[in-house]
Amino acid sequence: MTDSRETPHDAAGQGAWGRPMPARTGEIAVAIALLAVAVFFISQAALLDFGHIGLPGPGFFPFALGVALALAALMILYAMVRSPDEAAPIYVGHRDVLVTVAALAGVAMAFEQADAYLVLGTFMAFVLLLVARTTWWRALLGACLCMALVWFVFRFALGVRLPTGSFWSGLSAWLPPMFPVGLS
């Protein structure tokens, strides 16, 4: 294994890898989030046509589901608030998880604006550097290799066209039309 780091997987050791949070607090937070989703569905469905009992309209189902979800969330909430806080704490905010999520959000933001290959390559290098904890030149090499592979498999073999910036279209203008790829 080239990966030398050892992640502790017992509860106590995890502390270094995240922030402890009482399980009950977490449960309550999730239940409240579900309740919020339910309220959203109820309020929005109320704007739609309900139809009548013999022929429910488009608003009927979402409304009923919103109410059911709210009930379920309230029941969970009730059970959790009443239960003693005995369960082992849950660890949230692991560094690697946060890094990966941030990187993913970056990709989602930049994917269509900037060049897809550049964005994915940067993402790859970023995660390799910070999560795989490899050296920067390995990360860079890995990213380039991965992008070459992605281009070959998706663009060349499967014909999937990813959004590209001006960089590639500028380059493809110089390639002979022999390459029907046209990169962009």
Partner 1 sequence: MDAFSQLMTGFAGVLGWKPLFYCFIGCLWGTIVGVLPGLGPLAGMVLLLPLTFGLDPASAIIMLSGIFYVAMYGGSTTSILLRIPGQSASVIPSIEMARQGRAGPALVIAALGSFVGGTLSVLGLMLVAPPLANLMIAIGPSVEVVLMLMALGVITFVSGGSRLKTAAMIILGLAVGTVGLDKLTGLPRFTFGNLGLADGLSFTALAIGLFGISEILLNLERSEAIKAIRPKLRDLIPRWKDLKEATPAIGRGSIIGFLFGIVPGVSHVVSTFVSYAIEKRFSKNPEQFGKGAIAGVAGPETANNATTGTAMIPLLALGIPSIPATAILLSALMIHGVQPGPLLMTEHPDVFWGFVASMYIGNIILVILNLPLVGIFVNLLRIPYGWLVPSILVISIIGVYSVNFKGADIWIMVLSGIAGYMLRKFGYEMAPLLLALVLGDRLEENFRLALTMSGGSYATFADNASLIVIATVAGMLLILQGFAWVFGYRKSVADAAERT
Partner 2 sequence: MRIYARRTLMAVAALVTASAFGNAQSYPDGKPIEMTTLFGAASASTTTARKLADGMAKILSAPVPIIDKPVAAGAVGYTYLSQQKADGYSIVWSSNSISTTFHTGQLPFDYKNLEHIARVTIENPVLAVKADSKFKTLKDLVDYAKANPEKVRVGHSGKGSHTHLVAVALFSERKAKIIDVPFGSGQAVTNLLGDRIEAAVQFPQAFVSQAKAGNLRVLAVLGTIPDPAFPDVKTAKQQGFKTGMDLWRGISAPKGTPKAVITKLQDAIKKTVESEDFKEAGKQIGFTPAYQSSADFTKMIATDDAATAVVMKEVGLKK
- Find the binding residues for partner 1 in span 57-76 (CB under 8 A): 57-59, 61-62, 65-66, 68-69, 72-73, 75-76
Give the whole-angstrom CA distance, residue 168 versus residue 153: 17
> Residues near 176 by Cβ (< 8 Å), separated by ≥ 6?
none
Closest contact distance (angstroms) between CB of 174 and partner 1 is 26
Given the complex with partner 1, which of 111 and 167 has the nearer CB atom? Answer: 111
Q: Which structure tokens are listed for 96?
A: 């690697």
Size of the site for partner 1 (CB under 8 A): 75
Q: How far apart are CA 110 and CA 164, in angstroms?
A: 11
Binds 77, which of partner 2, partner 1, none (CB < 5 to 8 A, cut-off by type)? none
- Judged by CB under 8 A, the chain residues 103 through 162 that form the site for partner 2 are 159, 161
115-143 per-residue burial string, b: 16 or more CB within 10 A, e: under 16? bbbebbbbbbbbbbbbeeebeeeebbebb
Report the partner that residue 9 touches, choosing among partner 2, partner 1, none (CB closer than 5 to 8 A by kind): partner 1
Amino acid identity of residue 41, one-letter, is: F
Q: Which of partner 2, partner 1, none does residue 100 bind to, with CB < 5 to 8 Å depending on kind?
A: partner 1
**Is position 54 an interface residue for partner 2 (rule: CB under 8 A)?**
no
Counting contacts by CB under 8 A, is residue 123 touching partner 1?
A: yes
With CB under 8 A as the contact rule, the residue among 36, 104, 173, 175 that binds partner 1 is 104
Among 39, 118, 132, 141, binds partner 1 (CB under 8 A): 132
Determine, following the binding rule CB under 8 A, whether residue 177 of this chain makes contact with partner 2: yes
**107 burial class (0-12, 13-18, 19+ CB within 10 angstroms)?**
middle
